[in-house]
Amino acid sequence: MKPSYPELPLAEARDKAREFRSEIKAGINPIEANQERKAEAIREQGRNTTFSECAQLVLSMREKELKNIKHIAQWRSSLENYAFPVIGHLSVNQINKTHILEVLQPIWLEKNATASRLRGRIETILDYAKAKEFREGDNPAGWKGMLKPLLPEPSKIQKRKHHAPCRTALR
């Protein structure tokens, strides 16, 4: 509710009216301009949302989608163990490819399945942030065109091979 007479002094009301009349003369709809200012303030507030705050929002949505409690726990633990220590405190608008690589590179070769899933989870969170207009531009956690040229492809990572058993010992 907008302030009326007792809360808004008459001098301020006159100043506001002058401001609105000058906007109208300039071809600006004061109501639409006010709505746009409010929308921009909400977007700006969202841009300051940290990765961990945004992740909590996504996790609360995922809890409704995922039937298996184990999957929800895996989402949460992979983010808490690997992503939050590196990018959890950063605004979703600040996160770039370098940050994503800093999260993934330490585990990419040793725990590739976990790292690959984690990358997808980070991508989902940043997609959510973009949809909410908390960030703009490409998703730095995307595989094609972003991380694929920088990380070995999961399917081509060589698995450790064991030596064949020594035949002489069997004779």
What are the Cα distances from residue 54, in Å, to 3, 79, 107, 127, 169? 34, 12, 23, 10, 59
Length of the chain: 171
Using the 8-state DSSP alphabet, how is residue 138 labeled? -
Which two tokens mark 14?
């006159």
Q: Tell me how far apart the alpha carbons of residues 163 and 32 are, in angstroms, rounded to a whole number.
A: 73
**CATH level 3 topology of 51-152:** DNA polymerase; domain 1 (1.10.150)
Residues 63-83: tens digit of each pLDDT: 888 778 888 889 999 999 999
**Residue indicated by tokens 């690589």:** 101
pLDDT at 55 over 60: yes
- The mean predicted confidence, pLDDT, of the chain is 84
Boundaries of every domain in the chain: 10-47, 51-152
Residues 89-136: tens digit of each pLDDT: 999 989 999 999 999 999 998 898 999 999 999 999 999 999 988 888
pLDDT at 87 over 60: yes
Helices (H) and strands (E) in the chain, counts: 7, 0
pLDDT at 171 over 60: no
